[in-house]
């Protein structure tokens, strides 16, 4: 009996301790603000421009999954940097958006490789190493150099993780 009590107590402690590592995220920051913070964090001298709603409709068909978004791209002709931030109304919708964004990146890797290779082959590692991350109800993707992606995702943590 004594062993059962100790065993149950250990299980409860393990469950409590494992839940301590779960991050809680803010849900009230606009995608525009997050994007501005991310661009500032990478100290990018390039100018970024917004993709419009038509781009979103074409590549991210189901606009009902997100209630806010911002996607920007570098205006430099030989730079493929792209950053996208979506806010979903729920965690389930965020997972669906993340899958859609991953499909978008895969499609870009398949369809744009030859074109990029023809004019800016040094940019291909950015496309190959593009990354999607979920921060609560936010989905963030970055097509950038690894150090810039790290800065972007670090800024998302700073901006969204509740303390």
Residue 100 lies in a domain: yes
- Per-residue pLDDT of 9-36, as tens digits, reads 555 544 444 445 578 999 999 999 999 9
Residue 14 lies in a domain: no
Residue 7 lies in a domain: no
Q: Is the pLDDT of residue 1 over 50?
A: yes
Residue 118 lies in a domain: yes
Count of structural domains, the chain: 1
- Per-residue pLDDT of 127-152, as tens digits, reads 999 999 999 999 999 999 999 999 99
Instruction: Please tell me what DSSP assigns to residue 122.
Output: G
The pLDDT, as a whole number, for residue 7 is 47
- Note down the domain range covering 127: 27-160
Q: Is the pLDDT of residue 3 over 60?
A: no
Residue 15 lies in a domain: no
Residues 74, 125 contacting (CB under 8 angstroms): no
Report the alpha-carbon distance of residue 158 to residue 152 in Å, rounded.
10
Residue 2 lies in a domain: no
Residue 12 lies in a domain: no
Residue 9 lies in a domain: no
Element spanning 73, H or E: strand 68-74
């Amino acid at each position: 009996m004594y062993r059962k009590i100790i065993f149950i107590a250990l299980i409860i402690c393990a469950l409590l301790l494992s839940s301590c590592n779960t991050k809680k995220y803010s849900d009230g920051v606009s995608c525009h603000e997050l994007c501005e913070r991310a661009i500032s964090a990478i100290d990018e001298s390039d100018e970024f421009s917004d993709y419009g709603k038509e781009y979103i409709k074409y590549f991210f068909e189901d606009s009902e999954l997100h209630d806010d978004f911002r996607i920007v791209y570098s205006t430099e002709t030989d730079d493929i940097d792209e950053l996208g931030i979506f806010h979903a109304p729920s965690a389930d919708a965020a997972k669906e958006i993340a899958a859609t964004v991953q499909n978008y990146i895969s499609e870009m890797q398949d369809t744009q490789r030859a074109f990029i290779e023809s004019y800016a082959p040094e940019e291909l590692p950015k496309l190959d190493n593009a990354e999607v991350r979920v921060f609560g109800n936010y989905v963030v993707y970055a097509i950038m150099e690894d150090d810039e992606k790290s800065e972007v995702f670090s800024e998302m943590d700073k901006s969204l993780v509740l303390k």
